[in-house]
A and B are shown apart, each in its own frame.
Chain A
């Protein structure tokens, strides 16, 4: 049970009250103050309710990181809705599955997504659409409301309906091992608890200013957003790492105090940018999550930015975002670990019988705390597999030392981790099997210097089928987000299988 703020809206309201004229967000050279952001939140909240949004109804967002995304997110919460931040890199069919899964009543979108029409029509549940301005002169779907009309009202009252902290606030879709979309359902309490825990160890203040490259629709970026807004800090949005030195240039120009990344973010910066050429003296903290970073890369990062405190962290969407952190002062003697549980979170390593194992013994990482999700949206079977007796079974394999520092040694599932993304092999395989001429196939991750893993597929063609790698990749590109397209395609005569018929992925990995 939490005391104090019931939801994230309370935290933003307080920041808007204390720091109305201070910059909350900077995007494409334009500043949005806390006062402006809060007025947009109230205006959009009112518009959603005027147009019929009911309590607990889902509102999907299909917008890249922007002030509009932030205002929409908080407006949905303020209106008593459940916010669903969609991954803008996904294609129409992938998005449509998520819309149908959550039964979204409303969609707030940028009209630039190439598959927007199929998203709007998915499942016939969407009753209202609001579109932000297009960056590419694309027209909004017929009947869509203009975001500008919604957000520009200046007289909307702060009349948020009473919110029960234990009720759903947000759904984040994540790839499950079955390939079906799994909507991680987070309560208001989850979001506030995780935000406050992170604030506790990062020590963020209103003086902090982060340059953010992480998408807000993933849990890591989501936590960066909420933590900085909760303390009145500011967030400079850089939505692409395609030109890495421009990101570092922005960090220098904006006197950034913080920067957060996944291992591939830091690998890319260290490979392509001479960090010493930039004045990054303001940089106070770096955070790294989203998969284990090799100790050698951690050392290089520390050597390149010795004045910044580096927080190595571990988390999972099912735990809102954050589970553990390694205090920077222990980085040397606990290198290779992901640290200790964050405030309010208990971690245990358990065996297959669900019994706690002694220090030093490997087992499944299990977590308990106010950050643990309510469950997967309308999927009690999948929920029951990971939530048992109040404990989240993460599927990650780890071991804990005598001081409680956790090391991750693998995953119990076959999920592919490429850059910041988790990809289900089954999802790739299902799409491949739609292509004529494929008898069977297997997708897996193979090592990559920058991304950690990239996707490789092994395909057994049907007799007489004329397939080539490019046709396979083009088929995937038309149906899947770009990061899910296999980098390598290998044709084989058969797949190695166990006696029960399961593909021996480890053998393919070794062959890969």
Chain B
């Protein structure tokens, strides 16, 4: 499973409580759709750190890196490169 698919599955299961992939587009904005609040983002960070073995610095916590499935997948790829 690709990083993007793993992230989408995680967001679906933990914030939409579903496995229906049609509910979350790869470029859907989490903020725009009101999916993830401040504590939800902490859970996402924990998931990323545990699943992909990366460490997210405070200044990397920006929408450009984290506000959609595709943005997270690209961010993870950059971190692991």
Contact = CB atoms under 8 A, between A and B. Distances in A.
Interface of A: 89, 135-136, 240-246, 264, 268, 271-274, 419, 450-451, 470-471, 473-474, 477, 482-483, 485
A136 B66 CA distance: 19
A243 B59 contact: no
Interface in B1-17: 13, 16-17
Given A272-B61, A274-B58, A242 B31 contact: yes
Nearest to A135: B32
Nearest to A113: B34
Contacts of A419: 39
Interface string B39-81: 1111000000000000000110111001000000000000000
A242 B37 CA distance: 5
Contact of B36 (A242, A451, A477, A483): A242
Given A242-B38, A245-B58, 5 more contacts: A244-B61, A268-B39, A419-B39, A470-B17, A483-B37
B21 interface: no
Interface of B: 13, 16-18, 30-32, 34, 36-42, 58-59, 61-63, 66
A246 B62 contact: yes
Given A135-B32, A244-B61, A474-B17, A482 B37 contact: yes
A450 B42 contact: yes
Contact of B62 (A136, A243, A482): A243
Contacts of B42: 268, 271-272, 450
A477 B16 contact: yes
B41 A242 contact: yes
Contacts of A485: 17
B58 A272 contact: yes
Contacts of B61: 243-246, 272
A472 to B, nearest CB: 8
A462 B38 CA distance: 36
Nearest to B41: A242
Contacts, number: 56
Contacts of B37: 240-242, 482-483
Please provide the 8 A-B residue pairs with the shortest distance between their CB atoms, ordered closest to farther: A474-B17, A241-B38, A473-B17, A245-B58, A470-B17, A242-B41, A242-B38, A243-B61
Contact of A136 (B16, B18, B32, B38): B32
B38 A240 contact: yes
Contacts of B34: 89, 482
Nearest to B18: A474
Nearest to B20: A474
A273 B58 contact: yes
Contacts of A242: 30-31, 36-38, 40-41
A135 B16 CA distance: 22
B38 A474 contact: no
Nearest to A474: B17
B59 A245 contact: yes
Contacts of A136: 32
Contacts of B63: 243
A65 to B, nearest CB: 14
20 contacts: A136-B32, A242-B31, A242-B36, A242-B38, A242-B40, A243-B41, A244-B58, A245-B59, A246-B61, A272-B58, A272-B61, A273-B58, A419-B39, A470-B18, A471-B17, A474-B16, A474-B17, A474-B18, A482-B34, A485-B17
Contacts of B31: 240, 242
A220 to B, nearest CB: 16
A264 B34 CA distance: 19
Contacts of A246: 61-62
Contact of A244 (B16, B30, B38, B40): B38
A451 B17 contact: no
Nearest to B17: A474
Nearest to B62: A243
B66 to A, nearest CB: 8
Contacts of B30: 242
A358 to B, nearest CB: 41
B38 to A, nearest CB: 4
A242 B44 CA distance: 11
A136 B41 CA distance: 22
A450 B39 contact: yes
A453 to B, nearest CB: 12
Contacts of B58: 244-245, 272-274
A470 B32 CA distance: 23
A483 B13 CA distance: 16
A474 B13 CA distance: 9
Contacts of A450: 39, 42
B16 to A, nearest CB: 7
B75 to A, nearest CB: 13
Contacts of A470: 13, 17-18
A467 to B, nearest CB: 13
Nearest to A268: B38
Nearest to A477: B17
A356 B58 CA distance: 50
A485 B40 CA distance: 12
A243 B62 CA distance: 6
Contacts of A473: 17
